């Protein structure tokens, strides 16, 4: 069982264990040791979002990596998918992202990409933990010319902007389009406006003035109401909202209505099926995706495969099965023909290309999927106990499943980063499933609830 890594790297309150400078340095040392291969000079890319704590963690990681005789390429604030891309394009041995994604500014995290730009599998994260807690490498101290160096890559933003523009069809542009763009005061505050403007769009920016403490604060993909109001106020064609590290995206249409990850996957999958570009006519989603997505893709001649929650599990299934499109309802979309991880701006460009080619508005495209009513309730717990071992809870869940039959579903899982139990129900009657979800939540809170 992992001690540090969760579903998406190491994460927590900055300057509180495990997100301390001491642990960051140990993580850097262990990663440097793990990724060294042969007698040549080795290089690891480090990027971050705009959190205040990024400075101290960045310096600790640099110190740890250099102390093991590995060089560091520091790129500064850059979207998570941009760091994956830079790692791969510069032939570095690994990439490190300092970010807590959509979390508040006081949190931070550390996650890794391998040299090919993919997130590390569980066994590699376990090896890093073993090197730290076993103290196997404490005595390894390169000296003299064997100590690593740190270099700043000044053109990282420009490299990533060019990469993103090259994923957009060369015969198309965005001239005449008015787009509201919310960068969440995060890592994409420079990249995202530049890409859209260079493709010809009129951009109305929000959340593009980070100060170290305002990342995700009342803005970005967690608060689509911001761009919803802005789209209506400016009479824009659509709104695009990124999260703090820009690996996910949420849209609003020209009327200000939210268009989530499931709708975007439905739009992109059905378009790729029509163009015969969706490999094996298969989309990879997670168990959280709405059943309406399955229905839409099936109607277009494709199918949906479901994985556990987490974009890394989506990517693993895509690689294993040879698929090229996957994603999550939360707005992570992976286009493996272009990048190795979820990429908010890349996803936005694919949707904009479909709008341009088809001549349809986003609201018209979103009609491809009709979602089933869905309710999600979170319960804070004192312990992550298997709830099916609690007789009263198990009986209530089985009873709800019997009533739902084939016209809905229930999904219960623990958060990978917080002491929360997530209870999700889908069905034809929203009032009915809301009542059932509340009944289960109240019983769980009574049995294992935490403050």
Q: Is the Cβ–Cβ distance between 4 and 18 less than 8 Å? A: yes
* Residue 429 labelled as part of a binding site: no
Q: Is the Cβ–Cβ distance between 305 and 294 less than 8 Å? A: no
List 333's β-bridge partners, or say none.
327
Cα distance between residue 81 and residue 448, in whole Å: 38
* Residue 245 labelled as part of a binding site: yes
Cα distance between residue 386 and residue 407, in whole Å: 26
* Residue 247 labelled as part of a binding site: yes
- Residue 289 catalytic? no
List 10's β-bridge partners, or say none.
110
Cα distance between residue 12 and residue 284, in whole Å: 29
Cα distance between residue 111 and residue 118, in whole Å: 11
Query: Cα–chain-centroid distance for residue 105?
Result: 17
Which residues, in sequence order, are CB contacts of 67 under 8 Å at separation 6+?
A: 25, 28, 29, 32, 141, 142, 147, 148
Please pick, among 101, 221, 228, 330, the residue that the annotation labels catalytic: 101
As a three-state string, the secondary structure of the chain is CCCCCEECEEEEECCCCCCCHHHHHHHHHHHHHHHCCCCCCCEEEEEECCCCCHHHHHHHHHHHHHCCCCEEEEEEECCHHHHHHHHHHCCCCEEEEECCCCCCCCEEEEEEEECCCCECCHHHHHHHHHHHHCCCCCCCCCCHHHCCCEEECCCHHHHHHHHHHCCCCCCCCCCCCEEEEECCCCCCCCHHHHHHHHCCCEEEEECCCCCCCCCCCCCHHHCCHHHHHHHHHHCCCEEEEECCCCCCEEEECCCCCEECHHHHHHHHHHHHHHCCCCHHHEEEEECCCCHHHHHHHHHCCCEEEEECCCHHHHHHHHHHHCCCEEECCCCCEEECCCCCCCCHHHHHHHHHHHHHHHCCCHHHHHCCCCCCCEEEEEEEECCCCCHHHCHHHHHHHHHHHHHHCCCCEEEEEECCCCCEEEEEEECCCHHHHHHHHHHHHHHHHHHHECC
Q: Which residues are known binding-site members for Mg(2+)?
A: 101, 243, 245, 247
Q: Which active-site residues does the annotation give? A: 101
Q: Which residues are known binding-site members?
A: 101, 243, 245, 247
């Amino acid at each position: 069982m992992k001690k540090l890594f969760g579903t998406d790297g190491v994460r927590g309150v900055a300057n509180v264990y495990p997100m301390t400078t001491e642990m960051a340095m140990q993580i850097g040392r262990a990663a440097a040791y793990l990724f060294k291969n042969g007698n040549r000079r080795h290089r690891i890319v480090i990027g971050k979002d705009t959190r205040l704590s990024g400075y101290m963690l960045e310096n600790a990681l640099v110190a740890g990596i250099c102390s093991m005789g590995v060089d560091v390429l520091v790129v500064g604030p850059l979207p998570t998918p941009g760091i994956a891309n830079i790692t791969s394009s510069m032939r570095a041995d690994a990439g490190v992202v300092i970010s807590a994604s959509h979390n508040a500014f006081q949190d931070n995290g550390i996650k890794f990409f391998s040299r090919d730009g993919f997130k590390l599998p569980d066994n590699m994260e376990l090896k890093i933990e073993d090197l730290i807690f076993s103290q196997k490498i404490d005595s390894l101290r390169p000296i003299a010319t064997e100590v690593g160096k740190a270099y700043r890559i000044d053109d990282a933003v420009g490299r990533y902007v060019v990469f993103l523009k090259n994923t957009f069809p060369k015969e198309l542009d965005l001239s005449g389009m008015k787009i509201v763009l919310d960068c969440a005061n995060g890592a994409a505050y420079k990249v995202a406006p530049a890409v859209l403007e260079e493709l010809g769009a009129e951009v109305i920016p929000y959340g593009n003035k980070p100060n170290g403490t305002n990342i995700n604060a009342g803005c970005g993909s967690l608060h689509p109401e911001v761009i919803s109001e802005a789209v209506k106020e400016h009479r824009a064609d659509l709104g695009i909202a990124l999260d703090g590290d820009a690996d996910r995206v949420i849209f609003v249409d020209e009327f200000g209505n939210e268009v989530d990850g499931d709708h975007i996957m439905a739009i992109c999958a059905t378009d790729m099926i029509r163009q015969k570009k969706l490999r094996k006519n298969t989309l990879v989603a997670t168990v959280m995706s709405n059943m309406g997505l399955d229905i839409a893709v099936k109607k277009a001649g494709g199918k949906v495969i479901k994985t556990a929650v987490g974009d890394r599990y989506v990517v693993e299934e895509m690689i294993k099965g040879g698929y090229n499109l996957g994603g999550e309802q939360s707005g992570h979309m992976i286009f493996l023909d272009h990048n190795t991880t979820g990429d908010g701006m890349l996803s936005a460009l694919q949707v904009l290309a479909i709008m341009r080619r088809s001549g349809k508005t986003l609201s018209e495209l979103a009609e491809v999927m009709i979602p089933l009513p869905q309710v999600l309730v979170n319960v804070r717990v004192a312990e992550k106990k298997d709830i099916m071992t609690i007789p009263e809870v198990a009986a209530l869940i089985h009873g709800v499943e019997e009533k739902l039959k084939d016209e809905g579903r229930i999904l219960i899982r623990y958060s990978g980063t917080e002491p929360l139990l997530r209870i999700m129900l889908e069905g034809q009657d929203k009032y009915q499933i809301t009542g059932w979800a509340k009944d289960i939540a109240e019983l769980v809170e009574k049995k294992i609830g935490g403050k």
